[in-house]
Structure 1
């Protein structure tokens, strides 16, 4: 483990936080590949690999904003504000669950695998020094947004990882620790 201990990993995971604002910097496609490969090692019943990730950069983010507006059917200033949301980050990673008919692995479990990939990827991106926030919401269920992403009928959009550089003023922030005793119980 190249000199790292399990305690190091716990500390790095505990340091993870969401960054609602990021700088325009972003990892390249080639920098993403090993991170996606590692995230793909998530527990996956029957090794279905029921997920995929779509990179959105540049004009793809503009098209996503337009699909938000089409979905919301708003105009004027409200439309401009909504259309600009995907421009908050130079890189968006759309997290897609790809459901396959399988007698052993129900749809919810396939969604959980895709969600696990997204979370591990967000941890890996954070550990690599990138700012990340996972954004979800009603737009993930929009027909216009699904068409814009080219999703098939068996695919569900779980949200987007907004990825960018960490602003200097954000480097010192931290999340409040979880009270593990509240969430971990023992069955006698």
Structure 2
């Protein structure tokens, strides 16, 4: 697949099945992630892979987190939490792991980690692998973070679900770049102040 095609036509794929990406495909996914813009070459990210029976353990962790938040959580909600990691054969937990640096603020490092995750999604699409980036309240949940072994300064930026697309890929919505781009003029600053 051509690079521009992957950039322009990547879509999230929610319905995923077996097989998971192969070892060779995963190598390319992570190589692409490592090419993210990275001021200071700090590499302020890391990834955890979750597959096989570990997905069930992650589902139990999600259910436990739900119980901590709401001890009266209904069984249906706990079952839903348990089933979340089973929606794809491979999950990758994308983690921002900022480093102390005098010239690179943490906010910039979070963006770099997001770019690394996005690079991974683009590499998945380029290889015909279905993927979707999911967030939600579990990304910031203390029980989940502790259960996954995150350090205090780290944060989950997303759960990337990967597998074989089930069904046809949707066509991305056509957007017009002109709706999002404008030329700046120094006169605008003067007008805004006046």
TM normalised by structure 2 equals 0.87
- Larger Rg belongs to: 2
Question: Structure 1: which 5+ residue stretches go unaligned?
Answer: none
Give the count of matched residue pairs: 180
Structure 2: any 5+ residue segments left out of the alignment? 68-72, 186-194
- Tell me if 1:137 matches 2:131: no
Task: Indicate whether 1:52 and 2:46 are aligned.
Answer: yes
C-alpha separation between the residues in 1 aligned to 2:25 and 2:168? 23
- Partners of 1:35 and 1:125 within 8 A in 2: yes
2:172 equivalent to 1:159: no
In structure 2, C-alpha distance between the alignment counterparts of 1:163 and 1:18, rounded to whole Å: 10
Residue 75 of structure 1 deviates from its aligned partner by: 4.2
Say whether the 8 Å CA contact 2:28–2:123 is kept in structure 1: no
The equivalent residue for 2:10 is 16
Q: Distance in 1 between matches of 2:24 and 2:172?
A: 30
1:67 partner SS: helix
In the TM superposition, what are the counterparts of 1:79-98 in structure 2 within 5 Å?
79-98=78-97
Corresponding residue of 2:114: 115
Moved over 6 A (4+): none
Report the Cα distance in structure 2 between the residues aligned to 1:148 and 1:64, rounded to whole angstroms.
Answer: 9
Larger deviation, residues 8-17 vs 117-126: 8-17
Whether the aligned pair in 2 keeps the contact of 1:92 and 1:161 (CA below 8 Å) is yes
Decide which of 27, 41, 61 is 1:67's aligned counterpart: 61
Matches of 2:74 and 2:52 in 1, distance apart?
23
Aligned to 1:170: 168
Q: Deviations over 1:64-111 (max 9, x none)?
A: 211211121224222112210110001000000001111111111111
Q: Which residue of 2 aligns with 1:180?
A: 177
What's the secondary structure of 2:18's corresponding residue?
coil
